[in-house]
Structure 1
Amino acid sequence: MAWTYILRCGDGSYYVGSTRDLERRLAQHRAGEGAAYTRRRLPIELVWAQECTRVDQAYALEKQVQNWSRAKREALITGRLELLPSLARKPAKRPSME
């Protein structure tokens, strides 16, 4: 099993990660031994986590959520999943070929 998770850092920013052992990884982050990003932004709080059956799934979900806007991450954190489609970034308009 593996996990994808979101931390709220001391400066209010979010950190998205994945791991095989969520409790161990949280302890590392809290001790300042986690990612360089969180070491500079302690304290941290776990605000969302999802268990995945495979490590590659957790990693793929991590990469997906890392590319989301703050608003979309907050909708996920608060369980307002119905908002996710409307918060998706719109593709850039292509110039017309006329």
Structure 2
Amino acid sequence: MMGYTYLLLCSDQTLYTGSTINIEQRVQLHNQGKAANHTKKRRPVKLIYLEEFDSIATAFEREKQIQNWSRRKKLALINSEFNQLKEYSKKSF
């Protein structure tokens, strides 16, 4: 069963990362306030990034990976600035 990892832009400009087997239905549920608590309070949301996988398990793993990223790194992914991803992974002390 196919799976998707997605990023939403919320009305307050925050980013939400999730995974699903039905992207159209999931975005609709977010906009109806019937999905995640984060998006429920920040509607409407807009789908701004999507990755497709052969399984929902792989999509869920990718979701968890992206959730640990900084906003700057997520924006680089969304904007296809792949050369910046490694740079934004470095920790600054």
Distance 1:90 1:32 in 2: 35
Correspondence 1:70 to 2:71: yes
| Counterpart for residue 96 of structure 1 | none
| Counterpart for residue 87 of structure 1 | 88
Correspondence 1:42 to 2:76: no
TM-score with structure 1 setting the length: 0.90
Q: Cα RMSD over matched residues?
A: 1.3
Q: Please, which runs of 5 or more residues in structure 1 have no aligned partner?
A: 93-98
- Using the aligned pairs only, state the percent identity: 38
Correspondence 1:32 to 2:51: no
Greater fraction of residues in helix: 2
Largest Rg, 1 or 2: 1
Distance 1:9 1:42 in 2: 6
Q: Please, which runs of 5 or more residues in structure 2 have no aligned partner?
A: none
| Counterpart for residue 15 of structure 1 | 16
TM-score with structure 2 setting the length: 0.94
Distance 1:15 1:29 in 2: 10
1:30, distance to aligned residue in structure 2 (A): 1.0
Distance 1:52 1:82 in 2: 22
Residues 1-34 of structure 1 show CA distances to partners (whole Å, capped at 9, x for unaligned) of: 0000000000000000000000110110111111
Distance 1:80 1:43 in 2: 26
| Counterpart for residue 54 of structure 1 | 55
